[in-house]
Amino acid sequence: MEIRPIHNERDYQEALKIVSGLVDVDPAPGTSEGDRLEVIATLVERYEAEHFPLGLPDPIEAIKFRMEQAGLSAADMQPYIGNLNRVYEVLNRKRGLSLSMIRRLNRELHIPAEVLIG
């Protein structure tokens, strides 16, 4: 089993083909093919993290996404943001998030603070 670091786009594309083929076979963990898949997938993840970094999501979109996930309405957001008018101002980007709002949204709805600060 020859495994090499991924140095460039060609190496990356080659590694993706190998991973794709191994995923199709669905090797059991702990087998030589399963270990090969795990190692190459780790190399691919590292290369992608370095060359295709994902930025943080927009704070308001993150709030809306969490609202959708939890089935929350604008009225349900009042304990975290303030009165209903303020909730709508924040969701419509007419008012920024205050530090206290960020803390409550992070603590109660588990939205990462770094996303909310962004």
| pLDDT per residue as tens digits for the range 95-113 | 999 999 999 999 999 999 9
What CATH number is given for 59-117 in this structure?
1.10.260.40
Structure token pair of residue 65: 């996404």
The Cα 45–Cα 40 span in angstroms is: 9
CA atoms within 13 A of residue 114's CA, in its CB half-sphere: 2
Delimit the domains of the chain by residue range: 9-51, 59-117
In this prediction the pTM is 0.60
Percent of the chain at pLDDT > 70 equals 99
Tally Cβ neighbours within 10 Å of residue 48: 14
Cα-based distances in Å from 65 to 45, 70, 105, 106, 113: 25, 9, 13, 14, 15
